[in-house]
Structure 1
Amino acid sequence: MGQRAGSPQLLRQINDRVALLALLERGPLTRLELESHIGLSKPATADLLLRLEKSGHVRRAGFREGGKGPRAQLWSVNGAQAYVAAVDLTPQTLDVAVSDICGEIVAEYRYRAEKDASLGMDDLRQSVAIAAGEVGLATGQLRRVVVGLPGSVDRRTGSLGFAPHLPGWQGFDVLERLAGSLGTAVTVENDVNLVALDEMAVGRAVGLDDFVLIWIGRGTGAAVVSEGRLLRGASGGAGEIDWMPCPAPRATGGQAVAHRQRVGDVLSSNALTELARTHGLAGDELDKLLAGDHGADPAACAAFRRDVAGRVALAVAGVVSVVDPELVVLAGDVGRAGGSALCGLVAEELAELVLPRPDIQPSLVTGNPVRSGALRLALAQAREEVFAIPS
């Protein structure tokens, strides 16, 4: 039988959850600080803290120094009550992080396959096991594992789509097999979607409900956020613009790009390197050329960046025409290297193609945003379970 609405037990559980979320967001707090934040009386807050300490949810975390009078006891969430793992999987690399439920990374492990080898299920299991083992955990003791990869899982079948570059992950229910292999709950998410989660948390998209993130670098893809939620589509393929047919970009140096190509064909590293060469530039350092390194011919660099912007605008146009976002974020190696200058050129080119006029800005996230986004998702899922209010 469910709890009666407004019952003292239910109210205590709600207050406990609010207090735990406050401690996660703000870090260690004194009783007085927590009381002020959650709006309970002094006796009720003291009782709440003792109750959460007894249950193992919070712990004493030293004292607040520097004030007048006696030092005040600090309280924090007990990070050791649950652990999660985040994985960035590419065809040849694995990047794993294990964190406690407070979000503190306690172990990391990186693995690269031998040349021309492709990573499979056993490689992922072993890598997660090594990372978890650094803090004395088995994979089954992790509350949640989130895997980010360049593809999308069909929620109806569990099969991985849009990922021919991951041959060892085809033809079976990926979620079911991963959960069985690791012995815990597993979520598999598209890598660009995870970058968008990171951008929403600490990047350009903080506070925005409608934006598109375009990733150009290690592959090409998009993430669409509408009304604050990621759009995944029926088969998980929303945002897979790498496969989208692309009109031929304008001719460069007398050479037109062939018709009937995909967006991924014209924005791949090889394609952009070849584009640089048509401008007489050594294209093996695309980041410098896109950043405006005038060690090369400035006019040639400017023409190259304009042509890159034209290609990016073609990729952006189809998405923008449908979802009309407030913001487009350019991420990945190309977006990061091109910066605001490239974004400005893309905006000019886009204005010639579609009616919507979104703001276009380079990504602000650094490090490995796929792993970081996977960790954010794993923590959100684990906290929902650990701090849940029983029905």
Structure 2
Amino acid sequence: MLREINDRAAIDVLLREGPLTRSELEAAIGLSKPATAQLLTRLEQEDVVGKAGLRSGGRGPRAQRWAVNGALGYVAAVDLTPSVADFVVADIAGAVLAEYQVPLPVHRGADVVGTFGEALSHVARAAGLSLPELANVVIGAQGAFDPRTGLLSSAPHIPGWLGFDVPARLSEELGIEVTIENDVNLVAVQEMSEGKAVGLDDFVLVWLSEGVGGAVVIGRRLLRGTTGGGGEIDWMRVPDPVSVDTGEQWPAAGARFGNLVDSPAVVRLAAAHGVAADTAWDAVALARKEGADGFLDDFARRVAGGVASLVAVADPQLVLLCGETSRAGGEEFAARVAERLHELVLPRTPVAVASVRGNAVRAGALQSALATARADVFGLVANGLAASELSLRAVPARTE
């Protein structure tokens, strides 16, 4: 039993930190030098780890490095959007083997399953693999996924993907395990893995771009809800607290949060303050440049009004803003949101801008796919979506 725990601890560290020398691994898992050497010998004989070159630099002889055998499994991840599908294939150690971007039909009546399968086969071949060699595929999509039915909802932008059990149909057609996840949830997974949420137990993530989305993480697990609607803040009803007339009339119950902070709404709010732009992110960037504090304060009030509901219920350690509009505002805008938020709720929750760059949806999908594959191959427990969320530590044997 202790041997299995120690083996898993070593594998987990090597997967998270990359190739390590024996002494580095020894320090990371807390075993003695002889015990670590025996562990590496055993794992090498089982073809779980292998030599990965020598550590260069420093004085004295160069030390041998060790790494997990990436050929023990392969996964794929996809960011599915109306304009393009972004594919990646990686080995179980996380090394990217192939990438592929291609527009896929998403209109109603399109053969979305067939064209998706063709694109996945293409990127698998580019990685030197066949489809059956992929352990699993994770798709990130802009919409809510109901785990009870397999149906996507709140996704009018990809109508061809609506009305059928997506993971069941794809798994059956492709012959491999396919799962689907909300895109903002996957951004939260990536933030837990490599961003500002590393080490945090509870946080809220709000996506501000063309549209709006959210993710709630409690105890390092995504709060999905019974129908997959956890974090779907677009439909929350909140009052509009702005100081100018934007020409919009809201019902007595309040405006939909998504109708207050999506790109068209922010553009209208900016125009009411004399800031002309075509997108929300351009409006925010221009306002920062020109010092249009009235617009930025009103926009921050709108964001804080929606975030306040999440903070009042979850009391998270951090609120993270992500998406193009959030990046345009930067930490300066995050500070404005925090100031307005603290006028509405008791917790003094900090607000920051998410740090993960590039395609965070695809990266989060890859983390999720790897977590599942590593659980199957190595027995590593996947906490939430990302196996890297769980830090294992070796247990010293009584005698060595």
Q: 2:20 aligns with which of 29, 33, 38?
A: 29
Check the 8 A contact 2:142/2:182 in 1, yes or no: yes
Partner of 1:185: 177
Partner of 1:337: 328
Identity of aligned residues (%): 50
Partner of 2:270: 276
Partner of 1:20: 11
Single out whichever of 159-168 and 68-77 deviates more from structure 2.
Answer: 68-77
Paired with 1:287 and 1:133, the residues of 2 have a C-alpha distance of: 38
* 1:73 and 2:60 aligned: no
Can you list the C-alpha shifts for 1:193-223, whole angstroms capped at 9, x where unaligned?
1111111222222221111111111421111
Q: 1:100 aligns with which of 91, 104, 107?
A: 91
Partner of 1:247: 239
Tell me how many residue pairs correspond in the alignment.
378
Residue type of the partner of 2:300? A
Greater relative CO (CA pairs within 8 A, separation 6+):
2
* 1:262 and 2:256 aligned: yes
Paired with 2:321 and 2:328, the residues of 1 have a C-alpha distance of: 10
Residue type of the partner of 2:209? G
Paired with 2:80 and 2:122, the residues of 1 have a C-alpha distance of: 15
**TM-fit CA distance, 1:320:** 1.7
Check the 8 A contact 2:257/2:306 in 1, yes or no: yes
Can you list the C-alpha shifts for 1:323-359, whole angstroms capped at 9, x where unaligned?
1222111111111111122122222322333333311
Q: Give the 3 Å change call, closer, same or farther, for CA 65–270 of structure 1 in structure 2.
A: closer
* 1:173 and 2:165 aligned: yes
Check the 8 A contact 2:48/2:69 in 1, yes or no: yes
TM-score normalised according to structure 1 size: 0.88
Q: Give the 3 Å change call, closer, same or farther, for CA 152–63 of structure 1 in structure 2.
A: same
Q: Give the 3 Å change call, closer, same or farther, for CA 31–339 of structure 1 in structure 2.
A: closer
Q: What is the DSSP-based 3-state SS (H/G/I as helix, E as strand, rest coil) of the residue aligned with 1:291?
A: helix
Q: 1:212 aligns with which of 199, 204, 218?
A: 204
Can you list the C-alpha shifts for 1:33-68, whole angstroms capped at 9, x where unaligned?
434544555555444333322332112222234566
**TM-fit CA distance, 1:284:** 1.6
Residue type of the partner of 2:142? P
Partner of 2:43: 52
TM-score normalised according to structure 2 size: 0.86
Matches of residues 317-328 of structure 1 in structure 2 within 5 Å?
317-328=308-319
Partner of 2:299: 308
Partner of 2:195: 203
Q: 2:130 aligns with which of 130, 138, 157?
A: 138
**TM-fit CA distance, 1:231:** 0.6
Paired with 2:161 and 2:279, the residues of 1 have a C-alpha distance of: 32
Matches of residues 342-361 of structure 1 in structure 2 within 5 Å?
342-361=333-352
Paired with 1:228 and 1:24, the residues of 2 have a C-alpha distance of: 19
**TM-fit CA distance, 1:70:** 5.2
**TM-fit CA distance, 1:30:** 3.1
Q: Give the 3 Å change call, closer, same or farther, for CA 356–11 of structure 1 in structure 2.
A: closer
Can you list the C-alpha shifts for 1:346-374, whole angstroms capped at 9, x where unaligned?
22322333333311111111111111111
Q: Give the 3 Å change call, closer, same or farther, for CA 30–340 of structure 1 in structure 2.
A: closer
Residue type of the partner of 1:283? A
* 1:156 and 2:162 aligned: no
Paired with 2:203 and 2:325, the residues of 1 have a C-alpha distance of: 19
Partner of 2:74: 83
Partner of 2:121: 129
Matches of residues 294-305 of structure 1 in structure 2 within 5 Å?
296=290, 298=291, 301-305=292-296
**TM-fit CA distance, 1:285:** 5.0
Paired with 2:255 and 2:368, the residues of 1 have a C-alpha distance of: 34
Q: Give the 3 Å change call, closer, same or farther, for CA 119–332 of structure 1 in structure 2.
A: farther
Check the 8 A contact 1:14/1:389 in 2, yes or no: no
RMSD: 2.6
Q: What is the DSSP-based 3-state SS (H/G/I as helix, E as strand, rest coil) of the residue aligned with 2:356?
A: coil
Q: What is the DSSP-based 3-state SS (H/G/I as helix, E as strand, rest coil) of the residue aligned with 1:137?
A: coil
Q: 1:237 aligns with which of 215, 229, 233?
A: 229
Q: Give the 3 Å change call, closer, same or farther, for CA 19–250 of structure 1 in structure 2.
A: closer
* 1:120 and 2:122 aligned: no
Partner of 2:391: none
Partner of 1:291: 285
Single out whichever of 165-174 and 216-225 deviates more from structure 2.
Answer: 165-174
Can you list the C-alpha shifts for 1:291-327, whole angstroms capped at 9, x where unaligned?
355665x3xx222212211211122122222212221
Single out whichever of 284-293 and 77-86 deviates more from structure 2.
Answer: 284-293
